[in-house]
Homo-oligomer: A and B are copies of this chain.
Amino acid sequence: MSDTTLTADRLAQTSSPVLDVLAGRWSPRAYDMDAPIDETKLASALEAARWSPSANNSQPWRFIVARRGTEAHRVLVDALMGFNKEWAGSAAALIVAVAETSAADGTPIRWAAYDLGQAVAHLSVQAHHDGLYVHQMGGFDAEAVRAAFDLEERFVPMTAIALGELGDLSALSEPLQQRETAPRVRRPLDEIVIAA
């Protein structure tokens, strides 16, 4: 393994106490390009997603899981856009999070995207706890993914997710290195609480 001291510990400066696994979770781009995905940890991450809550327990989530080195992985790397293509293929796995936006009978599932987000959050928390890092991307060709994996229209690929161990920062281009080490920032709490 490589020098990850710069990037492994990036606890947020929270204004109230927050679980380390939440305060310490962040979205890297420097992934270990050699280590294969730890199958036990991958299974736990998916299991965490599986037990996420959803409206009427509709569970409107599906996951395309592709390990580095497989044809499915090559298809997903091809579908990545812009900067994402440069770094995300290094991660041991790419996962596409897919929302089931209507049931097989056509009934809309109104909270599909919202509940998919919850499921991926659970996945991320479990993965981070287990030493796997998650970086979600919106920048990918969802229609190319739909075509390659033969998804019905009611299934909408929402995010591509890089999952793996941290790698060497120096393997990134200079602009990506700068992003990687930029401070983590958020709006102050009083800007996101409307009435209190």
Contacts and interface: CB of A to CB of B under 8 A. Distances in A.
A61 B192 CA distance: 7
Nearest to A139: B55
A172 interface: no
Contacts of A184: 51
A104 interface: no
Given A72-B195, A159-B111, A47 B118 contact: no
Contact of A19 (B99, B126, B186): B126
> Could you say how many copies of this chain the assembly holds?
2
The 7 A-B pairs with the shortest beta carbon distances in the complex, nearest first, are A117-B117, A121-B121, A114-B117, A16-B43, A118-B121, A113-B113, A16-B47
16 contacts: A14-B50, A22-B122, A23-B51, A26-B53, A27-B53, A46-B193, A47-B189, A49-B192, A51-B184, A57-B185, A110-B138, A111-B159, A113-B114, A117-B121, A118-B118, A122-B125
Interface of A: 12, 14-19, 21-23, 25-27, 40, 43-44, 46-53, 55-57, 59, 61-66, 72, 98-99, 110-111, 113-122, 124-126, 129, 136, 138, 149, 151, 158-159, 184-187, 189, 192-196
